[in-house]
Structure 1
Amino acid sequence: MATITFLGAAQEVTGSCHLLESPAIGRVLLDCGMHQGGDAVERIQDETFAFDPVSIDAVLLSHAHLDHCGMLPKLYHEGFRGDIVCTRATAELLDVMLHDSVGLYLRDLERTNIRNARRGRPEIEAVFDMDDVEGVLGLCRGHAFGERVDLGPAGVVVFHDAGHILGSSIVEVIVNEQSQQKTLVFSGDLGKRDSVLMNEPTLLKKADVVLMESTYGDREHRDEESSLHQLRDILSETWRRGGSVMIPAFAVGRTQDVLFHLGCLHQQGELDNWQVFLDSPMAIAVTRVYDRWLELLDSDEVRQLSEAHRSSLETFLPTLNLAISTEESMAINRIKGGAIIIAGSGMCTGGRIRHHFKQRIWDDRNTIVFTGYQAQGTLGRILVDGAKRVKLFDEDYVIKCQIETLSGLSAHAGQGGLLSWMASFQPQPRAVLVHGEPRAQDVLREKLWEEQGLAVEVPARGQSIVY
């Protein structure tokens, strides 16, 4: 018998982590992600594992977003030495993501300890460091989509394209126990069917158990074309006001989609004289990883690019300026209007975007454009929910800039996409919803029952099921 214990992203969106136990494969984690929201140092210090990391035989990683991989350095620090199995593109992105994430954490921790010293408080020890990142990368094993990879004494894992970000995968785990074959499918994060750079998520046919994400189980997105029109209108109106546009962008996936859309506007002669700034060393590094894989993405939009533009998102948008150093980032502050500033982090929990907010959030000429999901407790969620004031760097700011959301640029499938993906399984599997807030999961559960006659489970954190 195999057991799945839901240890994160259970009735919540971030912190993806599920423990799969079976004599056929041993003890295997599906993802090892961090929770997001609140103070980063406090949040990471509070993260604990409900298992002994030394006892884990392998980690199957769906993709390289931090809410799916961010706790790998802690796992290594506490003794894990098994294989980390993922796609090749995910392995390449993991290098960038973990170095940046841990670097930011260590810098934030250093600032926190300076403040604590001034206040007579004890020093906080680091939960993990760069040595742990190097240890994680040394355990990483990248594979191609569709490749059968041996797992444990009697198991196999196969990665299928999830269409969410570069390298993102649907994880299929096949175990053989007592002459019986059982298949578990973990959706990871499923992409939208009309995403500009990604292929459509792979439709699988057979599974005994399916763990499916439900982030947008209660709503649909606008299509990409409508979002491009909306972006054009936002830019036009902000340009008329003499303002600038700030785009909090996730370094992997969303940033590259935004650059592609801005490139389309530029190629059509509709970008006016906007100066575009990518103000995120991590997003710059990730974009260059995308460039190396761009021809392999094979989406309709990529195939339609000319050969010259297909080689690089940077050449597709020649007005793009890359801000790598702190000095280059600060220099953007001297531009009073006509700047499109793409900066991390996507949920505004840290990174350079908060510094740009400090300079511009109080000016009604400016606009903030959100391009993806904002988790509860994050600054991004507070702004989207309509706050009138916000605290940045221990100072209060009145929010006067315009707040817009481009829902069509989400990298997640909407309700219709989730329903269609689940409907591909015949016969119907045992279905479990993960990676979603309770409201979204309740709506999706009702839809699955009404339209497909499928009864689904919504486990709480710490709950287990046997199959």
Structure 2
Amino acid sequence: MQISFHGAAGGVTGSCHLLRANGQTILIDCGMFQGAHDMDIDNADDFGFSPGAVDVLLLTHAHLDHCGRIPLLHRRGFDGEIISTAPTRDLARLVLLDAANLNEEEARRRQRHGEKQPPLFDTLDVVESFDHFGRTARLGQPIQIGRGITATFFEAGHILGSASVLLEIAESGQTRRVLFSGDIGPRERPLLNPPAPPSGADIVVMESTYGDRDHRALDGSVQEFLDAIRDTDDRGGNVIIPTFALERAQELLFFLREGMMSGRIRRSMPVFLDSPMAISATRIYRKHADAMRPEFATRLRAGKDPFDLPELHFTRDSAESMALNRIRSGAVIMAGSGMATGGRVRHHLRHNLGCSACSVIFVGFAAEGTLARIIIDGARSVRLMGDDIPVRARIHTINGFSAHAGRSDLIDWHRRTGKPDVTFLVHGEQPERERLAKDLTGRVELPMMHQSFEL
């Protein structure tokens, strides 16, 4: 049995892990690299394995850094089956179509500037890759994926449909249990059930994004979030929230509604969800109510929509989005992307960063090199669409909303897997991995890109 790492190994994005056993080749996730200045080169580079040799792809969840290179995998020869939970399948289709659209727009922009670099993949690649989605995984129910190999999905609590995947492999007269964490969510979230890893794992591949620190308590983060909005409203400015379309947008709508119903912020404040993908994702959340906490699902079935605000406006087309830039005060504008690497939020930042009455609220992880990270780190001006924009708006960073488990939750998750012989820490920057490794039992490895291990 051999495992190799072809993404999120020494970095946070691009999750892609390969396992060879019993003559089968199993891929766990196939994500895009995000944030780094050379990410286009990394994403277009060889996978480090033959796509045509992969028999099955097990998809832990639908974030772009876990599913984003699936169309490229298809284009380069993958002809196997993709297995995921039902919500992950629906969300991945949404995410990949959006990514293809962005790729095509970027290719057209480059062509206007005399460059002829084709998109990494296009809409046709995405549509064709949908044909690979086969069986649907149900939590806790094993699926036979090869000779002597079963896969079982377990609640990861990260986003809707997210799962950790346990492979049980009978080989050479013994059975080994290999557990891939995917991304692990915090134990306490309003929408999703907590992570529920299986015990008795022999080998664990585990994310470590926040391996060096804990998040602040959620209640305190919600209060800070609402206080920042009320303060900006009192000053007569707008609130810009770079928002991840999956999970974060839905959580923030929930907290905004709770804040309005309790009188902590103005009920008449207009809130614009300026993200076609987030709008569609919210519909998918409503569709898969059974994948959320029971009390939340009950509210949805009873017609008490927790995402419905008094003055909530969905802006789907670009003309509606551009019109928001004429609003000078009193609005909350949520738009993608969460790291401000692209999308509509960059236009809103361009029109609001220079205003001292406005605020920008970052509510998630910002990788090195992203615009979000540059602003968070205190830049006095940033380059946006060819212009130098001064940063005069108030900048808030509220990490308590993270969909990733903090250090204590990661250690607890690992403890609940049993006493694995070896743990591979992935999906984390090197200092975070090194700090977490010191607090885990058993042998711990910190794999680097394209590194292989015999198990």
Q: How far apart are residue 22 of structure 1 and its match?
A: 1.0
What secondary structure does 1:8 align onto? coil
1:17/1:45 CA distance change after superposition, 3 Å: closer
More deviation in 337-346 or 147-156? 147-156
Instruction: Measure the CA separation in 1 of the matches of 2:50 and 2:324.
Output: 47
Q: Partner residue of 1:216?
A: 210
| Identity fraction in percent | 39
Q: Partner residue of 1:172?
A: 166
TM-score by length of 1: 0.93
Instruction: Measure the CA separation in 1 of the matches of 2:206 and 2:297.
Output: 28
Quick check: 1:40–1:349 contact (8 Å CA) kept in 2? no
Partner of residue 274 from structure 1, selected from 269, 275, 282: 269
Quick check: 1:244–1:337 contact (8 Å CA) kept in 2? yes
Instruction: Measure the CA separation in 2 of the matches of 1:375 and 1:14.
Output: 9
Q: Unpaired runs of 5+ in structure 1?
A: none
Instruction: Measure the CA separation in 2 of the matches of 1:282 and 1:294.
Output: 18
Q: How far apart are residue 127 of structure 1 and its match?
A: 3.0
Q: Partner residue of 2:285?
A: 290
Instruction: Measure the CA separation in 2 of the matches of 1:46 and 1:144.
Output: 33
What secondary structure does 2:288 align onto? helix
| Matched positions, count | 453
Q: Partner residue of 2:121?
A: 128
Instruction: Measure the CA separation in 2 of the matches of 1:138 and 1:352.
Output: 30
Q: Partner residue of 1:18?
A: 17
**Residue pairs, 1:36-51, within 5 angstroms:** 36-38=34-36, 42-43=40-41, 46-51=44-49
Report whether the alignment pairs 1:423 with 2:415.
Answer: yes
Instruction: Measure the CA separation in 2 of the matches of 1:200 and 1:337.
Output: 38
Amino acid at match of 2:45: E
**Residue pairs, 1:16-415, within 5 angstroms:** 16-23=15-22, 26-38=24-36, 42-43=40-41, 46-116=44-114, 121=115, 123-141=116-134, 142-272=136-266, 273-300=268-295, 303=298, 307-309=302-304, 312-315=305-308, 317-415=309-407
C-alpha RMSD of matched pairs (Å): 1.7
Amino acid at match of 1:282: M
What secondary structure does 2:419 align onto? coil
More deviation in 43-52 or 75-84? 43-52
Instruction: Measure the CA separation in 1 of the matches of 2:391 and 2:217.
Output: 29
Instruction: Measure the CA separation in 2 of the matches of 1:181 and 1:463.
Output: 24
Quick check: 2:164–2:197 contact (8 Å CA) kept in 1? no
Amino acid at match of 1:308: G
Instruction: Measure the CA separation in 2 of the matches of 1:187 and 1:163.
Output: 11
Q: How far apart are residue 45 of structure 1 and its match?
A: 6.1
Q: How far apart are residue 330 of structure 1 and its match?
A: 1.1
Amino acid at match of 2:52: V
More deviation in 346-355 or 400-409? 400-409
Q: Unpaired runs of 5+ in structure 2?
A: none
What secondary structure does 1:102 align onto? helix
Instruction: Measure the CA separation in 2 of the matches of 1:296 and 1:168.
Output: 10
Quick check: 1:54–1:79 contact (8 Å CA) kept in 2? yes
1:363/1:40 CA distance change after superposition, 3 Å: farther
Deviation readout 1:407-426 (Å, 9 max, x if unpaired): 11100000010000111133
Quick check: 1:7–1:16 contact (8 Å CA) kept in 2? yes
Quick check: 2:204–2:420 contact (8 Å CA) kept in 1? no
Q: How far apart are residue 385 of structure 1 and its match?
A: 1.2
Quick check: 1:189–1:412 contact (8 Å CA) kept in 2? yes
Instruction: Measure the CA separation in 1 of the matches of 2:290 and 2:324.
Output: 32
TM-score by length of 2: 0.96
Report whether the alignment pairs 1:461 with 2:455.
Answer: no
Amino acid at match of 1:388: R
Amino acid at match of 2:423: A
Amino acid at match of 1:183: R
Amino acid at match of 1:174: E
Q: How far apart are residue 405 of structure 1 and its match?
A: 1.4
